[in-house]
Amino acid sequence: MKLITRNTDYAIRALIYICGRKNKITSVSELVAKTKIPRPFLRKLLQILNKKGILRSSKGQKGGFMLAAEPQEIFLTDLIRIFQGSLKLNECLFKKEPCVKKSICPLNKVIRDIEEDVLKKLKAINVASLAFKFRKLGIN
Amino acid sequence: MKLITRNTDYAIRALIYICGRKNKITSVSELVAKTKIPRPFLRKLLQILNKKGILRSSKGQKGGFMLAAEPQEIFLTDLIRIFQGSLKLNECLFKKEPCVKKSICPLNKVIRDIEEDVLKKLKAINVASLAFKFRKLGIN
DNA sequence: GACAAATGATACTAAAGCAGTATCATATAT
DNA sequence: ATATATGATACTGCTTTAGTATCATTTGTC
Ligand code: FES
Ligand code: FES
């Protein structure tokens, strides 16, 4: 099933760490040291997050990243959308005649209902709440 | 996200059709005509379902497939397991030091909770109930 | 028995997505 | 100037998905 891929997972963990450093710029080197994420891969992810407006970057020596948005406004669904593309349903397969309209197809409906429920739950999870839980356990 | 892949989707639709033919043997030719699923692909899927004990096959002229199990006992989760492998969680990525035990890791937990919920819901869906809904709409 | 019509078993292929690397350009604190 | 950052981009290898292609075997019908 795999709700989240490596991309997303790495991104969340990086964001949680950055969140914990509140307002201080965090470099890739520091993140690599703490999270053991492969450096070039992490760099790519952070650049994407920067472009998407979730991180803000500063170049040059002493450069790095900090959050560009409030951590309670960065949701798991955002990251999934960014790194795993749109969460789209399966296409109908009865291509012609026997195809009911998707909206009433029973199979489509049960899957859609479950996916919508998942979405709702993922939307309830944000970087701030995760960071809080991690800190309570003394990690980060 | 994609809860179910093409394999699974085709398989369900084929099973629904076969279910509607209650006790009569159904050939691939008939299924292809009705569902428009690519013939060689469908053949492969049905052979797998046969091996897994969900269908029973008979060879030779007039051969084909029929259900080997009660349709209310064939669950969506079974098909997903067969065609999409075990529904497994993400591995931890903090490979060494900062890794909490998986069982208490907050990130793992939220994902695991959602996945378990999905599983429970998928387990509630079976071929019989789907076939019934389809028939009510006059399909199949 | 010959033949047609079915499945069984296998092996192969093409495309997409996932995970990660490598390189060079650019900015900036010291 | 230079060391230390990120920006941009292109490339590689692996796995999964979605099929196709072939040949062997079984069986009903004439
Ligand atoms: S039959 Fe077309 S969407 Fe279900
Ligand atoms: S930190 Fe290891 S499982 Fe979450």
Contacts of B98 (CB under 8 A, 6+ apart): A34, A35, A139, A140
User: To the nearest whole angstrom, how far is the Cα of A108 from the nearest Cα of chain B?
Assistant: 10
| DSSP-based three-state secondary structure for A130 | helix
Q: Is residue A1 part of a domain?
A: no
Closest nucleotide to A48 by C1' from CA: D7
| pLDDT 10s digits, A42-71 | 999 999 999 999 999 999 999 999 999 999
Among A101, A112, A114, which would you mutate to test the B interface (most chain B Cβ atoms within 10 Å of its Cβ)?
A114
What is residue B99's predicted lDDT score, i.e. its pLDDT? 61
Please state, rounded to an integer, the average pLDDT across all residues of chain A: 89
Quote the pLDDT of residue A112.
86
pLDDT for position A61: 96
pTM: 0.90
Between CA A114 and C1' D15 the distance (Å) reads 27
Q: Is residue A114 part of a domain?
A: no
The answer as to whether B67 is a domain residue is yes
CB-CB neighbors (< 8 A) of B90 in chain A: 2, 4-6, 9
Classify the phi-psi angles of A5: left when phi > 0, otherwise alpha if psi is within -120 to 50, otherwise beta. Answer: beta
Residue of A nearest to B114 (CA): A118
The residue whose CA is least distant from atom 3 of ligand 2 is B102
Of A34, A36, A100, the CB nearest to B139: A100
Helix (H) or strand (E) holding B56: strand B55-58
Domain that holds residue B23: 6-86+126-137
In order along its 140 residues, chain B shows pLDDT tens digits of 788 888 999 999 999 999 999 889 999 999 999 988 999 999 999 999 999 999 999 999 999 999 999 999 999 999 999 999 866 656 665 554 456 666 788 988 898 899 889 999 999 999 999 999 999 987 76
B110 touches ligand 2 (CB under 6 Å): no
User: Does residue B103 fall inside a structural domain?
Assistant: no
| CATH number of the domain that residue B77 is part of | 1.10.10.10
Would A78 be classed as within a structural domain? yes
If one counts the domains in chain B, the total is 1
Query: 């080197």: which residue's tokens?
Result: A29
Tens of pLDDT along A83-104?
Answer: 998 665 565 555 444 555 666 7
> CA A36, CA B92: separation in Å to the nearest integer?
11
CB-based contact A137 B100, cutoff 8 Å? yes
For chain B, give percent helix, strand, coil, nearest 5: 55, 10, 35
- Atom of ligand 2 minimally distant from the CA of B105: 4
The reply to whether B26 falls in a domain is yes
- Return d(Cα A84, Cα A11) in angstroms, integer: 12
Cα–Cα distance measured from residue B138 to residue A92, given in angstroms and rounded to the nearest whole number: 17
Give the model's pLDDT for residue A140.
Answer: 61
